[in-house]
Structure 1
C-alpha cells in the first residue's frame, strides 16, 4: 500500500509538471497583455486642428494713399504702438520713415526754381519778340500811309507814274496785311508757349503740395476707436518696427470687431475630404483650458496651399464661433474639434488592438487559455478608436499590445 501511494503521488506530480509546461507560459503571456473590454458606446468621428482666433470683421488702419503716384514703393515703419493698445478715433498708431519723401521734396523744390526761371525767361523773350513785331507792324502801316499820299499826289502825273504809285500802294498794303497775320500767329504761338511753361510750373507746384500733404499722413492715425491688432505680411509675419508697407499692401494694423470671432485653421490634405461647411465644431482656447465654445464651419478652401516652414499641403478652413466672451482676443491659439459624424451605441476598439494585412483585419481576444485570433469587419475611425461591425461581442476583451506572429 505504501508502494502504491508513492506511485500515485509520483503520477500526480508528473501530471502537474505537464500542466505547468503546457499552460504556464500561456498564463504568463496573458498576465503580460494589456486588455480592453469591448462595449457599446457612442462614437464620434472628429478631425482636430489648431487655429488662430480672429475677428470676422475689422477695419484696416492704412498707410497714406498716393505712395505709388509719388514714386514711393517701400516705406519702413519707424514707430508702432504695442499690439492690443486701445485707441480712440484720431489717436496715433504708427509713424513711417520720411527720409525718402523729404529727399523728393528737396528735389522738387529745385525743379520748381528751374521752372520759375524758365517761365521768367520765356516771358521776357516773348515780350521782346512781340515788341519788335509790333514796331515792324507800325512801320509797315506808316509805309502804307506814305504810299497812299504818293498816289493822291500823282493824279496830275502821267498815267505811267500814276500806275507805278498804285502798284507801290498795293505792295505796301499787302506787306502790312501780311505783317498783321504774322503778328496774330506769333501772338498765338507766344501765348501757347507761355501757357505750356506756366502749366509745367503749376504741375510741379501741385506735385510739391501733394508731397507736403502726403508727408502729413506719415503719422498714421486710427480711423475709429478699438483695439490695435498688427497686420500680417504675405509670409505670415506680423508688422513691427522695421517692417515695410507698399502701395499694394499699405495696411499697418486692424481694428477688429470683437462681436463676431472666427478661428482660421488649416486642415491637411488627408482629412480635408471629411470637412464641409455647416459642420459643428467645438472650439477650445489654449490660454483658458476650461473654456469651450460652440461653432460651425462657414468656409472651406477649394485649393490647397503650402504654409511657410512646411512641405505638406493644407486647406484653409474658417470656423465661426456662435458665442463670444470677454476673454477672447485676436491672435489666441484655438483647439478645434470638428464633428464629422456621430454614431449611437456601437462597438469599437482602440486602433492599437487592430492588426491589418493586405486582405484581412483581425484582433487578438482573450480566450479561456491564451489568445484567440479573430477576424473583424470595421467601419469609421477617429484618432484613437475604430468601429467594429462584425467579429466581436460586447464584454469580450482584446489585447492592445499585439503578440508577435
Structure 2
C-alpha cells in the first residue's frame, strides 16, 4: 500500500509541473485552443489596398473649330510630336481667299493714308491750278450764255441753265481739290483714313484666325494616342479628332471606396504592383485627392492621383495596378497580435499571464494592420499574453 501511495504522489507532482510549464511557456500551446505571445516593440503601418489604372498626367482631345473636309492628316498613332507641330489640315481655300482680299484692302488703305500724309508736289499743285482755271473759264462761259436768254420765260429750264449748273459744280470740285492740295489733308480726313486702315488690319487678323481654325496643332509635346479622322472625309467643328498625351510623366488614378476616403491624404506613400509586371514593386506618392466622387459611376467611388517612378519599365496608359497605401506609420510602438485583443462590452481586453495565473487587462489601442495592433496603454513590453 505504501508503494502504491508513493507512486500516486509522484504522478500528481509530474502532472502539476507539466501544467505550470505549459502555462508559463511563451509562444507554446497552453491548451487545445490557446496560444501565447510576448508584448514587443516594433514599427507598424496601417494600410489600405485599392485598385488603380495608369494614365498620362496630361492627356488632351483635339478638334478643329470649323467643319469641313479633311485635306491632310500629318501624323500617325504613336508618333512623338513637339508643341506647335501641325497635325491635321482641313480644306482651307475659302480662308486663303479671304486672307488675300484682306491683304489687298490693307495695302489700299495704307496707300491712301500715306498719300494723305505727304506734302503736295509741284506737279500736284500745277495740276490742281490748271483744273481750277479751266473750271473757272467754263463756269464764266456758261454764265455768259445763260445771261443772253435770262429774260426768256423758259430760261430756267433751258439747256443754258443746265450747262451753268454743271459748270458751277465742276468749279466747286476743282476749287475744293485745289484748296486740299494747297492746305494738305485735314485732321478729320486723316483720322478717317487711319480708322479705315485699322479696320482693314483687323479684318486681315480675323481672316488669319479663321485659317488657323481649319488646323489642329499640338498644344504640348507628347505622343499621339489615337486619330479619328481620315483624309477626304467631312468632320464637324469641336468634334475630337486626335488624342495626344505626355507619356513622360505617367500617373495612377486610384479608386477609393467611401469607407476609406477619410484616411487618404496627399503625401502618403504607395506600394505599386502593376498587373503587367507583377514581380516588380514600384513606389509612389499621393499627389492629389479631389474632394468630390467620380459621378460617372453607379456607386460612390472617390479618386486619388499617384505620382510614381516607372524605373525604366515600359509602362503604358491603361495598365491595371494593385496599390497598398500607407495611411499611418508608428515607430517603436508597443505591439501585440490582433488575436490577443477582444472586445468585452465597451472595452478592449487582453488576457495576461503572470505569477502562474491569468488575468484580463483593459487596453487602449492605436494603429493596426492585418496581423498586429498598437497598444497605447494597459500593457508593458515583455509581458506574456494569450491569443484567442
TM-score of the superposition, structure 2-length normalised?
0.50
Report which of the two has the higher share of strand. Answer: 2
TM-score of the superposition, structure 1-length normalised?
0.48
